[in-house]
């Protein structure tokens, strides 16, 4: 079941809503809910009923927690791709993420996307990125950059051949994933792709 609250329906365009619904359908299609439940059982269930031992086990499970959250952030990028396939254009992906970052307060044309993307340059060179290691979702700017890579990939145009122009240079899937890895991994310190 996918729930859209009224403020989202009022403030998002039909294309943006398609990207949101497509994203959630991506989670359903890939059974991410089941993996997320298993992950939370592994993380939060470990030693939950053993007072005193709980803290030690929580510390021991830290590498597992980091690995699962890394997977979770990659899963979000996968589902952003599903959202992009459903709405069929990158502008709505960017404006959706921009609106989510501002809590829906700013509309698409009020966001300076170039300034927003510059946040990545600050993020990747700052120790702040280490705090992202336990985040379930990538920072919004990382998601926008990964979506921009996807829109230049062969995978996107395999689903949308009607949008393909003859002179386009498109990345194969392997190159797409390599380019997105820099945005998904918070430990890497690579600049934005050209």
Q: Mark 123-133 as b/e (b = at least 16 C-beta within 10 Å).
A: bbeeeebeebe
The residues that bridge with 153 in the sheet, in sequence order, are 171
Stretch that binds Zn ion, among 58-66, 68-76, 118-126, 174-182 (CB under 5 A): 68-76
Q: Any idea what the Cα angle at residue 17 is, between residues 71 and 156, rounded to 5°?
A: 60
Min dist CB 23 to Zn ion, Å, is: 6
Choose the binding region for Zn ion from 71-79, 113-121, 138-146, 158-166 (rule: CB under 5 A): 71-79
**Site mask for Zn ion (CB under 5 A), range 79-98, x = bound:** x-------------------
Residue 19 CA to residue 162 CA, distance in Å, equals 19
Min separation Cβ 27 and Zn ion, Å: 6
C-alpha dist (Å) from residue 3 to 13, 36, 72, 93, 143: 16, 18, 21, 19, 22
Nearer Cβ to Zn ion (32/182): 32
Closest CB to Zn ion among residues 76, 132: 76
Number of Cα atoms under 13 Å in the Cβ half of residue 50: 10
Which of 65, 137 has the CB closer to Zn ion?
Answer: 137
Q: What is the closest distance, in whole angstroms, from the C-beta atom of residue 24 to Zn ion in the complex?
A: 7
Question: Closest CB to Zn ion among 74 and 181?
Answer: 74
Residues of the shown chain interacting with Zn ion in the complex, contacts defined by CB under 5 A = 76, 79
């Amino acid at each position: 079941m996918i729930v859209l609250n009224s403020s989202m329906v009022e403030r998002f365009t039909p294309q943006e809503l398609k990207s949101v619904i497509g994203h959630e359908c991506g989670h359903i299609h890939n059974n991410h809910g089941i993996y997320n439940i298993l992950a939370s059982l592994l993380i939060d269930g470990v030693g939950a009923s053993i007072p005193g031992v709980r803290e030690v086990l929580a510390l021991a499970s830290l590498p597992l927690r980091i690995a699962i959250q890394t997977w979770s952030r990659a899963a979000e990028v996968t589902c952003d791709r599903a959202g992009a396939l459903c709405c069929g254009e990158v502008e709505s992906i960017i404006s959706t993420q921009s609106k989510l970052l501002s809590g829906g307060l700013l509309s698409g044309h009020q966001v300076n996307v170039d300034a927003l993307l510059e946040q990545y340059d600050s993020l990747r060179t700052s120790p702040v990125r280490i705090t992202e290691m336990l985040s379930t979702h990538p920072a919004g700017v990382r998601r926008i950059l990964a979506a921009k890579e996807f829109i230049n990939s062969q995978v996107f145009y395999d689903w949308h051949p009607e949008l393909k122009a003859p002179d386009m240079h498109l990345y194969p899937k392997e190159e797409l994933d390599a380019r997105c890895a820099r945005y998904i991994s918070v430990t890497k310190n690579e600049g934005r792709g050209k």
